[in-house]
Each structure stands twice: as C-alpha cells, then as structure tokens.
C-alpha cells in the first residue's frame, strides 16, 4: 500500500497547505497517539520544534490530538532533532515528535516521529498511523484526557549529554570556533556546548525570527561562514542546518569540508584507535567515489544504501556498524545517538584537531573528490522518471561514463525535485552528461 502522508523523512510540505495544516496535525496526533498507546502505564509524548513561524500553529494542533486520546504531552520548544530523539528515550516517552523541515526554507515544515527507543519509525509503523488517520478517531472519556507541560531544562539535559561524547582529554581552550546555527533549533545549545568545553566561540546565524531559518546561512549556504572564519582568524568553522542533524566543516583557510570528508576524518581516527566497528562506513549512493577509494586504500569498506538517513541507520544496525552518513553532512554515530547529530559529529572533529595539534587544513581534507556534479530540476507533478526519453538519456550517460564514473537520477523524497548526479574522472564529460540528463528531465516534466 502506498503511503499518503509520509515520505523519506516523515511528513513534509508547505506550511498551512495540505498536509502541513493544523487539521492534519490534529489527525496525526490522534492517530499516532492511539497507535502508541500500549500497555497500562502512564503514556506520554515529547514534542520539539525548530524556529519556523508555522511551529506555533502545528505544535498546539498536535498537542490537542495527543491529549484527546489520553496521552500526556511534554513540550521542549526549539530543540535539535537529535535532542528530541535522545530525550524521548531518556524520559521513557512512548513517542517523540520533531516539527522541522530540516534544511528547507521557512515556508515549509515537517513532522518527524520517533519511537520509544529514540529511532525513527519504520515504514510499517507509519503505514498503520496513516490507516488510523483515515478512520474515525478513538477519543477517550473526558476524565482520561491527557495534560501538557513544558520541560524547562530540556536544553541543559542535551548540553550535558553532548559534552559527554567529547572524546579527547584536551579541552578546546586553544581553539577559536565560528559556529553557524542556521537561525535554527540549535541557536542556544550549540554555542553553549562549545563555550563550556573551553573554546572561544563566535556564533552566527543565532538570531531566529521565524522566517530566517536556513536563509543565507547554515550547512546549505556556508559562504558567510567561510568568510567569517577567515575574517576572525578562527581555527575552524562549524555549520549546522535548521534542525541541527547535519554539519559541514570549514578549515582555517575558509575551505569547505562536506560530510564525506567528515566521515573520512572520523573513520581514519577510529580505525587507528580500534573503535571503528566492522572496518566499514555506511554512506548513500550520493557519496563521492573519492571517499570509497580513500577507505579502500586503508583496508576499509564503504557500504552504499539509497538516499535517506533512515536507510543508512537501518544498514548500520543490521550489520553492527557504528559510523555512517550522507555527503550533505548527516552523520550518524550510533555509539551515542539514534539519528544524525551535527553537533555530535562536530565534537568528534574537534577532538581530532585537539589531539593532533595541527590545523584543520592539514588533518581535514583527506582525499581529493572525484569530479561530481549535482543538479536539481524542479517538476510540477507527473512522473518524468518513467519517461522513455529520460530512461534512454540515463542509459546513454552510463555508456559514456563506462567504468570510470556513475550517474544517478532520482526523485527527491522531500521536495518537488528530480535530482541528477554524475561523477567521473573527466569533469568535461561529467558536465556534458548532466546537461543532457537535465534537458531530458525538463522535457518529460512539461
């Protein structure tokens, strides 16, 4: 059965348009609450959000839905997605909810659900919730209605948890760090963690107004961070996205290090210390071939899965691996977390820098990426990937690249886009292939 509401990462869409309306959030709260109302204990759900204006609309709608089916609600306000996952498990809640569209602009919003173990829900759980959303709500008697309360020290709990993952005996006293919080969920906790560990902290993107999340800042727009690192003579720059589950790094020269480079840094350090389980890293089909070659030369494997952090994590759990992520900077460190955590990954990099005592530019760019070109084509409905013209263009691209490159054309699971990626050792050929594929997709989408 095809899912109606849930996509690659929860439910997502333009705020105040279906499915991101108060009415649908209310239905979701009632349905998810009943689905996870199991056993005879006191039932509770934890709700966090990022800084989007629409959070003020969706949060009370979800609260009403959950309380109407007898669940108590714990509200934590603006909080990173990984903090919601951690707190759900720590507080033994039956369910965790994060209101965020991650790296998308403020006009969008999304709803991510976590089970009592802190992991994102399975496809089967989401399908059962959708089925409940299509039937009449199972409301409780008035005496059994749930209550809602705010958890005032949620930020402090997460800060202490994250500090506990810092894996070096050295403090950050000698490091000047620029942290870009994307005007998002980590605007308070991220600078505080770095300051408490001893760093000199220069925060940017920490003045959210409801409409500026990810706007010209954060991991998807790191140009300002690159400039600020150089201008302040900082040792390192850290850019999170709107819900702080992604991170990219900037070295002292203002050069960007993406998620592939971050995974390479952590993998190499962990391999040397015997911490890397299974001598392997899990990444998606989008990760650069250069990462695969780097790992292979060190006797390590790269396991590729389809795009989406949930699929990375599923493969990690199934194979007993503890490091995985995406090129975009969604890094999963399963020794500590049940989902991607940008701040947690950044602390692993900072621990490496502190121990090495060398500039980030020397310890950070561990491999030369194979030329790779990404392009997004916006589509308005239809199924361009089913077009014979697009299929022929893909086959032709694969013939041109042969054994010296690869191509990937896929529909985005979070936006109305077709994403085109090609990589190979011949950058001119890669650009030509992407141009041809773009034309084919645009024709099929009209």
Catalytic residues: 102
Q: Are 246 and 308 in contact (CB under 8 A)?
A: no
Q: What is the 3 state secondary structure string of 233-262?
A: CCCEEEEECCCCCCEEEECCCCCEECHHHH
Q: Are 15 and 176 in contact (CB under 8 A)?
A: no
Q: What are the backbone angles phi and psi of residue 437, rounded to the nearest 5°?
A: -65, -35
Nearest residue to 97 via CA among 184, 36, 183: 36
Neighbours of 341 (CB within 10 A): 30
d(CA 34, CA 132): 8
| Runs of H (alpha helix) within 381-426 | 388-401
Q: What are the backbone angles phi and psi of residue 325, rounded to the nearest 5°?
A: 170, -170
Instruction: Express the helix, strand and coil content of the chain in percent, nearest 5 each.
Output: 40, 20, 40
Q: Are 423 and 406 in contact (CB under 8 A)?
A: yes
d(CA 232, CA 142): 59
Cα dihedral sign, 212-215-218-220: positive
Q: Are 277 and 300 in contact (CB under 8 A)?
A: no
Neighbours of 209 (CB within 10 A): 11
Q: Outline where DSSP puts E strands in 31-172.
A: 44-49, 72-78, 95-99, 108-114, 148-150
């Amino acid at each position: 059965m095809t899912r109606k509401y849930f996509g690659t990462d929860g439910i997502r869409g333009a705020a105040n348009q279906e499915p991101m309306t108060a009415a649908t959030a209310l239905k979701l709260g009632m349905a998810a609450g009943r689905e996870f109302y199991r056993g005879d204990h006191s039932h509770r759900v934890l709700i966090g959000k990022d800084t989007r204006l629409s959070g003020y609309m969706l949060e009370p709608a979800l609260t009403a839905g959950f309380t109407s089916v007898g669940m108590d609600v714990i509200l934590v306000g603006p909080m990173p997605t990984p903090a919601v996952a951690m707190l759900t498990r720590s507080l033994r809640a039956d369910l965790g909810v994060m209101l965020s569209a991650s790296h998308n602009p403020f006009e969008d919003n999304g709803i991510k659900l976590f089970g009592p173990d802190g992991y994102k829900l399975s496809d089967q759980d989401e399908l059962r919730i959708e089925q409940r959303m299509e039937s009449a709500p199972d409301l409780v008697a008035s005496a059994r209605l749930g209550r809602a309360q705010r958890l005032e020290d949620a930020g402090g709990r997460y800060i202490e948890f994250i500090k506990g993952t810092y894996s070096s005996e050295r403090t950050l006293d000698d490091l000047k760090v620029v942290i870009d919080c994307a005007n998002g969920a980590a605007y308070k906790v991220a600078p505080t963690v770095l300051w408490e560990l001893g760093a000199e902290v220069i925060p940017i993107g920490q003045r959210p107004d409801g409409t500026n999340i990810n706007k010209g800042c954060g991991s998807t727009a790191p140009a300002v961070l690159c400039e600020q690192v150089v201008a302040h003579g900082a040792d390192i720059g850290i850019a999170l996205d709107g819900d702080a589950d992604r991170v990219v790094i900037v070295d002292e020269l203002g050069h960007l290090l993406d998620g592939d480079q971050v995974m390479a840094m952590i993998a190499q350090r962990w391999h040397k210390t015997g911490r890397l389980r299974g001598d392997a890293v899990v990444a998606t089909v989008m990760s650069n071939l250069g990462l695969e070659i780097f790992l292979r030369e060190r006797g390590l494997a790269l396991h590729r899965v389809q795009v989406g952090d949930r699929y990375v994590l599923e493969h990690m759990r199934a194979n007993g691996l503890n490091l995985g992520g995406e090129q975009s900077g969604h890094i999963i460190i399963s020794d500590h977390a049940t989902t991607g955590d940008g701040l947690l990954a950044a602390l692993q990099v900072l621990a490496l820098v502190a121990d090495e005592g060398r500039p980030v530019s020397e310890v950070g760019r561990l491999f030369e990426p194979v030329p790779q070109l990404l392009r997004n084509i916006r589509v308005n409905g239809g199924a361009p990937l089913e077009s014979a013209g697009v299929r022929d263009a893909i086959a032709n691209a694969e013939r041109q690249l042969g054994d010296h490159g690869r191509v990937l054309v896929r529909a985005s699971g979070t936006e109305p886009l077709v994403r085109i990626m090609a990589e190979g050792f011949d950058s001119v050929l890669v650009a030509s292939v992407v141009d041809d594929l773009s034309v084919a997709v645009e024709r099929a989408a009209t």
